[in-house]
Structure 1
Amino acid sequence: MTPCCVDAFSGAGGLSLGLEQAGFSVLLSFDNDAMCVQTQKMNAKYFDHPVLQANIDEMLNGGLLKKTGLEVGQLDLLAGGPPCQGFSVQRIGDDQDDRNDLVLKFVRLVEEIKPKIFMMENVRGLAGKRGRQYLAGAMQSAENCGYHVHFTILDAQDFGVPQRRQRVVVIGERLIEGEKPNFSFPEATTPKGHRITVREAIGWLPPPPLNGKDHPDYVLHRRDRLSPLNKKRLVALKEGQGREFLPPELLADCHKISSDVIGHRNVYGRMKWDEVAPTITARFDSFTRGLFGHPSQIRSISLREGAELQTFPSDMVFAGNKVDIARQIGNAVPVRMARAIGKSLIYCLKLKDTGV
């Protein structure tokens, strides 16, 4: 039988897509963001399962079991990436951010429905100095109800994704008495020397129209409007260069004070053609927020190019305005990374079913 899974906090569906490519059948996905839910519904050929706008509180206390028709212990995999931005390394996090509680609620759902395996993807900072104790507490809660839990940090560039993107991946296997854990994290499919580059990922796309509209053949492939000052900055930069290469007259005022103290170094910059991209964030649509300038053209990368760097299908569309779409793309689990993890999960389930 095809193993089944539920995708919690599904966002734009990157995790669901990867798990289906690995061999899972997605029974249901849910997210409380209306734009994310609409995106999946607009792409019905990729998401042919029920997609619900709901928060995790609605899935607790029997909610998920009722919606799926499953009984406790029947689900093969509960997967999800509960938002935990308070520990994000991309900005100064807030340990008290309410979104951090979603990890504990995810574990509560695990305890309640008892899937054979659970998988949680999250920001790297969750395993850092501030997040480590919080992560350990969540893992201990799962271990207390019969799961063998371990985690690692995976980098998306090792799995066919053309960007540096380190994420914590937590796996929990439900063990019966005497059973040994079977899961092993996936080995790199594109190790150093074999990475997918920016050129391979987006170099095939033609320049977007100058009028700011979508390219007629590629949805969401359009130019963002740049200020005259930002155009000058892009002209001054070569590929791979950031704001530290700008002449003083083109620096932002905050960077003129002290380049070592104020602000991130890798902003106001360009990507490099023959390397992987930097992490695609929820604001990759803005040249000022990172090395999100096109390697050779006078523009930031388009929404379509961001989706390509996250390994979404080239014909996938997204709901909402520019900010909504960038957030959905930037927050997603890259499809190819999800597929690699999914294949390891499938193998683990086969071993459990055969009693090896």
Structure 2
Amino acid sequence: MNKVVSLFCGCGGVDLGTIGGFQFNKKTYEKHPCELVYACDIDQKAVDSHKLNFDTGKTVCADICEVDAKDIPDCDILTGGFPCQSFSTVNPTKDPFDDRANLYKQMVRVVQEKKPKVFVAENVKGMMTLHKGEIFKRVLSAFETAGYKTFYSLLNAADYGVPQKRERVIIVGIREDIWKKKGNFVFPEKPNEGNWVPLSAAVPKLAIEENKYYFSERAVQGMKNAKKNMKRGLAQNLNEPCLTVTSHLAKVSLNSRDPVLLVDPQKELYRRFTPLEAARIQSFPDDFKFAGTETTAYRQIGNAIPPVLFWYVTDAIIKYLEK
């Protein structure tokens, strides 16, 4: 059984994919030989959600900068989707050297102390290209200096059966002694490449009764009167995967890049996704529980890594370690 430590765990998208043993879109994702021994996040509501869904050895709400690595159990696999706001392509004007961008150093610190067989880091696509790739090189170099051979790939969740176009860079680090014995790590094949799961898998019907999810007539008129160069009213095609959902799902606007639903073109009826739909778009099973209000649930969902995508990454890692 592989012992797993999860940093920046959020509500548990990575951890559900790591552990396995869940169903999504009528498909069963088998349990992996993994045991979650420690999980940490700074968001209390996300930690509350994590505790509702996982039987973890120890789950703590803490700033990783203040966590002593000696308080973290030894592990075989260490995961971490360190916060990515500073690397986002949505707002390239943010300082890429601020404290949030430097949180990868905390993951390096823990990796260096605990020496897991494998670590897995995740981030947004933009991290690879900011400052002409210098930031990405810096991140890889830090992990390599810690004693790991790194492999990375830009993966699209839609290629793995998630009803969402969501590109994320995945970095897998193999401890050098293991890499020298087993050779290079190979990322999982893309089972749904060219055969993407449509949004209809998450949104079975457009019209719903709850008025709170519909945009007002004023919002629709504001969208129509917006400057022509603005992205607006990004109504999704149910026959295709959804565009990327974000952490501000509760504040989705018609005058933004946010994906929305057009319920009735003639009546100009638009609405946002419900929390259940948003969770399905991220490939969470329907029985996954979110603590807090709808607003905090939306944030947890938008910040998560799709469990199905991470299941395939973990599956490749398990097969690598067992060969």
- Return the TM-score normalized by structure 1: 0.79
2:19 matches 1:54: no
Query: Gaps (5+ residues) in structure 1?
Result: 213-222, 234-242, 244-249, 352-356
Letter in 1 for 2:42: N
User: How many angstroms apart in 2 are the aligned matches of 1:85 and 1:131?
Assistant: 18
Secondary structure of the 1:185 match is coil
The correspondence for 1:271, drawn from 216, 236, 241, is 236
Change in CA separation of 1:293 and 1:142 when aligned onto 2, cut-off 3 Å:
closer
Residue in 1 that maps onto 2:39: 29
Which structure 2 residues correspond to residues 1-356 of structure 1 after superposition, within 5 A?
2-21=1-20, 23=32, 24-41=34-51, 43=52, 46-49=53-56, 50-64=58-72, 68=73, 70=74, 75-92=75-92, 93-130=94-131, 132-176=133-177, 178-192=180-194, 194-203=195-204, 207-210=207-210, 212=211, 223-224=212-213, 226-231=215-220, 250-252=224-226, 255=227, 259=229, 263=230, 265=231, 267-285=232-250, 286-288=252-254, 289-296=256-263, 298=269, 299-351=271-323
Which aligned runs of 4 or more in structure 1 are off by greater than 4 angstroms?
A: none
User: How many angstroms apart in 2 are the aligned matches of 1:39 and 1:106?
Assistant: 22
Which has the higher Rg, Structure 1 or Structure 2?
1
8 Å CA contact retained: 1:284, 1:292: no
State the Cα deviation string for residues 173-203 of structure 1 (Å, max 9, x = none): 00228534342111101111x1100112221
User: How many angstroms apart in 1 are the aligned matches of 2:165 and 2:206?
Assistant: 24
Secondary structure of the 1:294 match is strand
Letter in 2 for 1:113: K
8 Å CA contact retained: 1:269, 1:287: no
- The structure where strand makes up a greater share of residues is 2
8 Å CA contact retained: 1:79, 1:120: yes
User: How many angstroms apart in 1 are the aligned matches of 2:103 and 2:123?
Assistant: 11
User: How many angstroms apart in 2 are the aligned matches of 1:105 and 1:295?
Assistant: 43
- Return the TM-score normalized by structure 2: 0.87
Secondary structure of the 1:27 match is strand
8 Å CA contact retained: 1:284, 1:326: yes
State the Cα deviation string for residues 326-355 of structure 1 (Å, max 9, x = none): 21111100010010111011111112xxxx
State the Cα deviation string for residues 75-115 of structure 1 (Å, max 9, x = none): 21000101021110122332133201111111111111110
User: How many angstroms apart in 2 are the aligned matches of 1:269 and 1:128?
Assistant: 26
State the Cα deviation string for residues 211-234 of structure 1 (Å, max 9, x = none): x4xxxxxxxxxx42523223457x
8 Å CA contact retained: 2:207, 2:263: no
User: How many angstroms apart in 2 are the aligned matches of 1:316 and 1:348?
Assistant: 29
Query: Gaps (5+ residues) in structure 2?
Result: 21-30
Secondary structure of the 1:293 match is strand
Secondary structure of the 1:169 match is strand
Q: Count the aligned residue pairs.
A: 302
Letter in 1 for 2:4: C
User: How many angstroms apart in 2 are the aligned matches of 1:91 and 1:103?
Assistant: 19
Structural RMSD (CA):
2.1
